Amino acid sequence: MAPLFADLYLFTMLRAYQALGMQERATFSLFVRKLPPCRNYLVACGLADALAAVESLRFASEDIEYLSSLGLFPPPFLDSLKHFRFSGDIDAVPEGSPVFANEPLLEVTAPIGEAQLLETFLANQIGLQTMLATKAARVVRAAQGRPVVDFGSRRAQGLDAAVKGARAFAIAGVAATSNLMAGRRDGLPVAGTVAHSFIEAFDSEDAAFERFAALYPNTILLVDTYDTLEAVRKIVGLHRAGRLGPIRGIRLDSGDLDPLSRQARALLDEGGLSHVQIFASGGLDENRIEALVAAGAPVDAFGIGTAMSVSRDAPDLDIVYKLTEYGGRGRMKLSAGKRTYPGRKQVFREMRDGRYRQDTLALRDEGLTGEPLLQPVMRDGAILPAGIRPLGEIRRRAAEALARLPDPVAANAPAATPYPVVISESLGDAERRLREALVRTRGEGPF
Amino acid sequence: MAPLFADLYLFTMLRAYQALGMQERATFSLFVRKLPPCRNYLVACGLADALAAVESLRFASEDIEYLSSLGLFPPPFLDSLKHFRFSGDIDAVPEGSPVFANEPLLEVTAPIGEAQLLETFLANQIGLQTMLATKAARVVRAAQGRPVVDFGSRRAQGLDAAVKGARAFAIAGVAATSNLMAGRRDGLPVAGTVAHSFIEAFDSEDAAFERFAALYPNTILLVDTYDTLEAVRKIVGLHRAGRLGPIRGIRLDSGDLDPLSRQARALLDEGGLSHVQIFASGGLDENRIEALVAAGAPVDAFGIGTAMSVSRDAPDLDIVYKLTEYGGRGRMKLSAGKRTYPGRKQVFREMRDGRYRQDTLALRDEGLTGEPLLQPVMRDGAILPAGIRPLGEIRRRAAEALARLPDPVAANAPAATPYPVVISESLGDAERRLREALVRTRGEGPF
């Protein structure tokens, strides 16, 4: 973990807890308070990267020197950072699982200062991949089995978002990425075609097609540089003249994709190139893909960029990391509009007829019916096997779990009724009792 | 530069240009095709980071091994990467300058494959910081001189966006960031208060205030954990009892900030704490800040997170990197809705009465009246002094330049009339001639 990827106050609090001898164990819960209006579910994602970073968290001497330079921290505290390692426990929902508002994506239990220290990093990283996997699940659904390729790196919000985004997209079912760094990092299939600039650099579009196809058998040629259908005719002409190596497809990147794909398909079929696929890109999102598929446009695969890479219609999640227990007692705030539930938690997910029907947000050890979602993924600072799973396994889990959602929840359109998440009686009681005590004592306990 | 932060096709094209002996110099232009509907201008940002990365671009042996593993590239090409360095020229608009649609943020001139290779990286990085500096300029304007602090790292889209975002925010006039990594990297002031969890970990809110203020003189205490005004009364009570060390402020983080800030101000003033400032945070954006300021709410400083960190109302820019010249001749595509202008360019910005009145997008050497915006920032792969300026200088330039915009353009509300950017006669002629030739020859030159 980048040890200084943290808000300053995490360190001022860590030092305060040390100075005040407050070293009891605390539990913090990472969850999304409210789903964006245009989301019926979230796909939990980002755990493996986050755990690896937490396990390896150490402070280098230059980190400590920087903290020292702020003039806020006494030498004994700075010294203690030299030997810091995260010693706590993490329980988490497996990556690829659908989750809903208020359900913990993970819970951290550790001495309070240590647990607190992870806030900025975990919210940023789990929030990012969860947001992007969720967006990609919608895009993949819209494509109804046609491959979707991630072309969004140039528009993603920074390098980290592009690379980790490619992983999240793969988990949600995206077939490949154009980003080589992501391909190498996570073993993802990489894909790409050719840019307009390549075509433009030649004095003849014909020559550009012929040369590129000769160098890269089974490539995909870009046809919209000057005139889309004219370019398709040129490809047919080159093929008939025996001058075109084998190509896999053509790419349409502008214009009205529905009629253009039909006209291009007809030209290819008439020209003896019925095996050549049509690849569409250019400003696509799940809604445009859904419309093309519904209209029956003969598009075989989609390249998608900006809209998926920044989750344009929901570019952030209301993700928070909240103290829920300290020293064995539940904790919460009463701030207006920001309800939290005290205590360590579990989510029990019930199935009926192969479909999820209801979740119950409960205290950790209630043992209710249904599948308990949170699993131990780190103990005493060491990652457990459940925390880091192969990408293929996570991707399969996501596909299976999304198929188990009720149809209106799995749909891209807003669900008339949200997926039901109920609060267990014990958790409801605990919340009510603590709230009443806090109000009665005006925050001057014991409560 | 992360050498594999690139779309696969940049490498397939680089190798194709090598194989085909196409090594003439090309110019690519990085620009935003269209401003987002809710933006009147952009603040150019991100150049220094981008140049440093380009200058140091090298391929390590593991990068080359990965490329080799893809089965697309022959050994001579892979070998050539061992000695690769970027050898080209870059001209750019100085960071902190306002720019508009179609105006190059930068232009790269180099052997075509080399220049092409930078596309994904430059669009991502310059796009990110330009988008975020622009958003922050709006927030700073809304605050009308009150300090704005960046609290958004936990919600930014990844680590890179948070850290580089903090730099972009500082350039736009943001006073400080909570992110320590950003503070260290760019020498930015860091700031922070205390979290709800700290208050909650105590059995008494009084005790939490007293202890934290004792450890951190002149800190800012968070008052909305249980009951905002009750907490302010506790602070006054501690002060009267002589139990409160000196504090600088209180922070309101929820509820209706207008009445709460007035009531808190009155309590502090009556309690002999009129020097204690009121800091507001919690779901703010430029519109909410503008409303609080317009209403005269007694807020002394603002903490802003998500809305600024992801540029929520415009989370992407239509930024593109387009070939405009190859082998000394202008190049462009005709794709529907994606007009580009051929040739190397300059922007001439005219002033009248201390205000910018009009830009002319022209060919590079036209020498029109007005200030030429693009300056040489890299030659033969080496950064020139104009490319990397001290942050304080860039921040001043941004403030001065934004003050020179026409009032309706500088405003946060959409301008009724966009800032005028006209096309020079020569550039217009060049575009028309090339378009006609491309249409006439159907892309089968010479054109």
CATH number at B422 reads 3.20.140.10
Cα–Cα dist B326/B19, whole Å: 17
Residues A154 and A302 in one domain: yes
Write the residue in B20, B153, B158 that is nearest to A7 by C-beta. B153
A1 has pLDDT over 70: no
Q: Residue A207: which of A241, A252, A253, A254 has the closest Cα? A: A241
Asked whether residue A427 falls in the same domain as residue A368, the answer is yes
Domain that holds residue A151: 145-309
Are A108 and A183 members of one domain?
no
Task: Check residue B159 and give its pLDDT.
Answer: 98
Measured between alpha carbons, how far is B109 from B195 in angstroms, rounded to an integer? 50
Q: Which of A309, A344, A365 is the last residue of a domain?
A: A309
Provide, rounded to the nearest whole percent, the portion of chain B with pLDDT above 90: 96
pLDDT tens-digit map of B221-241: 999 999 999 999 999 999 999
C-alpha distance from A67 to closest chain B C-alpha (Å): 8
CB-nearest partner of B8 from A192, A306, A439:
A192
pLDDT value at position B232? 98
B67–A contact, CB cutoff 8 A: yes
How high is the pLDDT of residue B221? Answer: 97
Residue B365, CB-side half-sphere exposure with 13 Å CA sphere: 0
* Same domain, yes or no: A236 and A282: yes
Residue keyed to tokens 């925010």: B169
- Residue A337 within a domain: yes
Quick one: residue A71, left, alpha or beta (phi over 0 = left, psi -120 to 50 = alpha)? Answer: left
**CB-closest option in B16, B123, B165 to A154:** B123
**Looking at B300-430, which runs of residues are DSSP E strands?**
301-304, 319-326, 329-330, 345-352, 355-363, 371-372, 375-379, 382-383, 421-423
Mutate to test the interface with B, among A333, A434, A435, A441 (most CBs of B within 10 A): A333
**Domain at A233, CATH number:** 3.20.20.70
Which of A309, A340, A372 is where one domain is finished?
A: A309
Of A261, A288, A309, the domain-final residue: A309
Is there a domain that residue A243 lies in? yes
Substitution target from A118, A119, A316 for chain B, most B beta carbons within 10 A: A316
| Same domain, residue pair A36 and A107 | yes
Residue A2 lies in a domain: no
Mean of the per-residue pLDDT values of chain A: 97
What pLDDT, on a 0 to 100 scale, did the predictor assign at position A323? 97
Characterize A15-32 residue by residue with b for buried, 16 or more Cβ atoms within 10 angstroms of its Cβ, and e for exposed: bbbbebebeebbbbbbbb
CB contact under 8 A, B6 and A206: no
B84 touches chain A (CB under 8 A): no
The DSSP output letter for A386 is G
pLDDT, position A446: 77
Are residue A111 and residue A192 in the same domain, yes or no?
no
Same domain, A292 and A173: yes
Taking the C-alpha atoms of residue B88 and residue B86, their distance in angstroms, rounded to an integer, is 6
- Predicted pLDDT of residue B88: 98
Q: Per-residue pLDDT tens for A250-300?
A: 999 999 999 999 999 999 999 999 999 999 999 999 999 999 999 999 999
User: How close A298 comes to chain B (CA, Å)?
Assistant: 20
Confidence band of A4 (pLDDT split at 50, 70, 90): very high
Whether the per-residue pLDDT at B24 is higher than 70: the answer is yes
Confidence of residue B1 (pLDDT cuts 50, 70, 90): low
A447, pLDDT greater than 80: no
Whether residues A176 and A298 share a domain: the answer is yes
DSSP A257-271: HHHHHHHHHHHHHHT
What's the rounded mean pLDDT across residues B413-421? 97
Q: Does B175 map to a domain?
A: no
Same domain, A12 and A117: yes
Q: Please check the confidence at residue A193 and state whether its pLDDT lies above 90.
A: no
CA angle B432, B436, B441 (to 5 degrees): 150
The answer to whether residues A270 and A361 belong to one domain is: no
Q: Lowest-confidence range among A20-29, A53-62, A86-95, A328-337?
A: A328-337
Q: How far apart are CA B400 and CA B220, in angstroms?
A: 32
The answer to whether the beta carbons of residues A99 and B131 sit under 8 Å apart is: no
Find the mean pLDDT for residues A143-161. 98
Whether residues A112 and A202 share a domain: the answer is: no
> How far is Cα B107 from Cα B115, in angstroms, rounded to an integer?
10
Task: Note whether residue B225 is domain-resident.
Answer: no
Amino acid at B387: G
Count of domains forming chain A? 2
Confidence check: pLDDT of A443 > 90: no
Q: What is the pTM of this model?
A: 0.98
Q: With an 8 Å Cβ cutoff, are A205 and B11 in contact?
A: no
Query: What are the start-end ranges of the E strands in B55-118?
Result: 89-92, 98-99, 106-111
Quick one: average pLDDT of B165-186? 98
The answer to whether residue B33 sits within a structural domain is yes
pLDDT of residue A270: 98
Measured CA to CA, the distance from residue A34 to residue A102 in angstroms comes to 7
CA B295 to chain A, closest CA, distance in angstroms equals 21
pLDDT in tens, A125-135: 999 999 999 99
Per-residue pLDDT tens over the stretch A52-111: 999 999 999 999 999 999 999 999 999 999 999 999 999 999 999 999 999 999 999 999
Query: A173 lies in a domain?
Result: yes
Cross-strand bridge partners of residue A421: A359
**Nearest-CA distance from A17 to chain B in Å?**
9
Q: Which two tokens stand for residue A378?
A: 């780190």
| pLDDT tens digits for range B31-72 | 999 999 999 999 999 999 999 999 999 999 999 999 999 999
**pLDDT over 90 for what percent of chain A?**
96
Q: Is there a domain that residue B248 lies in?
A: no
**Token pair for A143:** 């494509």
Residues A173 and A25 in one domain: no
Total Cβ atoms within 10 A of residue A278: 23
